[in-house]
Amino acid sequence: MRFPHRTRQSGFTLIELLVVIAIIAVLIALLLPAVQSAREAARRAQCVNNLKQLGLAMHNYHDVHGQFAPGYLILPGGNKTMGAPDPETRDTGPGWAWGTLVLPYMEQTTLHAALNFDLPCQAAANSTGARASVAAFVCPSVSDPSTTYDVKDEPGAKLATFSRSHYAANAGRPEAWIYAVDDWSSIADGPIYRNSRTRVASVTDGLSNTIFLGEHSPVLSDKTWVGVVPGSVVFPTPRFAFAEGEVGAAQILVHSGPNPGENPPRIHPPNSQLGKLCQMYAEHSGGCNVLMGDGSVRFAKSTISQAVWPALATIAGGEIISSDQF
């Protein structure tokens, strides 16, 4: 009697299986950084596009109004509607910021129309519009997914809820908001500050050599495109708890340093770990994107020269800067 021939079934041995798993693990380890790098490149490209859109809106605003949008607006001296001046900063209403003023020039006319500019930005009638998230103000590399934050005074009382912005305006070298004066024009030497009226002709350093906007991630502190509430303050996140809080203007503006009379002078380059709430800070590796006055976008390295960085912050400093100094 013949038995049917049994064929031996082939398969992976344990050693072969382990080798295959090890090869797959190595391939994943090699590919993952490349995938992450490609994703970050895409996010950074979107951030660049956001700033270009904001730059175009700023120039369209200039074409209509004969000046670039100011950092934010106050009524010097105040009145019954806009409130009395804050004794520490002289801020009053309406507080509307540059981001709100350029809304009609970035396809946000509906949102702009929903805001009552005859009232302070924190008025209850403006609460819905002030919470609206605008894609052009959001950098996709930012790790904090929240779209709003509560604006508070120093004791912690809530004054308003505003939509976030991951971009802030450059007020120049000095921290003008530390002075209790109504007019900053003799203090701020950058293009965008409280009640500023900067024109193209004012930027004698050249639009391509002057920073107008830059990144600021909520991983450091809160920023908004809406406006400044008098008496408000902003504090660092727990990660930067060693840093000092700032007054309301720091939710809109940044500066490069140094302040007059500082000894030694302190410069705040991009992504500085000093944690200054009034500096530019991005979650891109090695620096941040900045919008120049001519509408171009550059990547400013965190290792940028501490002589070049404040030179880029001024509109009429007379400095000569080459394109390879970023």
d(CA 50, CA 47): 5
Q: What is the structure's pLDDT at 93?
A: 97
Q: What is the structure's pLDDT at 295?
A: 97
Kindly give the confidence (pLDDT) of every residue in the chain, 326 residues in length, as a single tens digit, with 9 standing for 90 and above.
Answer: 555 555 555 666 877 778 888 888 887 777 767 666 677 788 999 999 999 999 999 999 999 999 999 999 999 999 999 999 999 999 999 999 999 999 999 999 999 999 999 999 999 999 999 999 999 999 999 999 999 999 999 999 999 999 999 999 999 999 999 999 999 999 999 999 999 999 999 999 999 999 999 999 999 999 999 999 999 999 999 999 999 999 999 999 999 999 998 888 999 999 999 889 999 999 999 999 999 999 999 999 999 999 999 999 999 998 877 766 77
Q: Would you call 32 helix, strand, or coil by DSSP?
A: helix
DSSP β-ladder status, 167-170 and 297-301: unpaired
Please give the tally of structural domains in the chain.
1
Dihedral of alpha carbons 164, 137, 112, 297, sign: positive
Instruction: Quickly count helices (H) and strands (E) in the chain.
Output: 5, 11
Q: What is the structure's pLDDT at 1?
A: 52
Q: Would you call 84 helix, strand, or coil by DSSP?
A: coil
On whether residue 3 sits in a domain, the answer given is no
d(CA 272, CA 76): 34
On whether residue 10 sits in a domain, the answer given is no
Q: What is the structure's pLDDT at 190?
A: 98
On whether residue 281 sits in a domain, the answer given is yes
Q: What is the structure's pLDDT at 17?
A: 79
Select from 265, 304, 267 the least CA-distant residue to 288: 304
Q: What is the structure's pLDDT at 10?
A: 60
d(CA 98, CA 291): 14
Q: Would you call 324 helix, strand, or coil by DSSP?
A: helix
Q: Would you call 160 helix, strand, or coil by DSSP?
A: strand
On whether residue 223 sits in a domain, the answer given is yes
Q: Would you call 72 helix, strand, or coil by DSSP?
A: strand
Q: What is the structure's pLDDT at 123?
A: 98
CA-CA-CA-CA dihedral for 198, 200, 206, 210, to nearest 10: 40
d(CA 31, CA 295): 36
On whether residue 8 sits in a domain, the answer given is no
pTM of the model: 0.89
Residue with tokens 């519009």: 129
Residue pair 236/313 in contact by the 8 Å Cβ criterion: no
- 171: number of CA atoms within 13 Å, CB side? 32
Amino acid at 76: P
On whether residue 2 sits in a domain, the answer given is no
Q: What is the structure's pLDDT at 253?
A: 98
DSSP β-ladder status, 211-215 and 232-234: unpaired
**Cα→Cα distances 296→62, 160, 184, 214, Å:** 16, 34, 27, 12
Q: What is the structure's pLDDT at 312?
A: 97
Q: What is the structure's pLDDT at 2?
A: 55
**Cα→Cα distances 14→17, 20, 255, Å:** 5, 10, 62
The residue range of the domain holding 230 is 16-325
**Cα→Cα distances 208→60, 124, 166, Å:** 17, 40, 22
On whether residue 1 sits in a domain, the answer given is no
On whether residue 4 sits in a domain, the answer given is no
Residue pair 307/205 in contact by the 8 Å Cβ criterion: no
Rg from Cα positions in the chain? 25
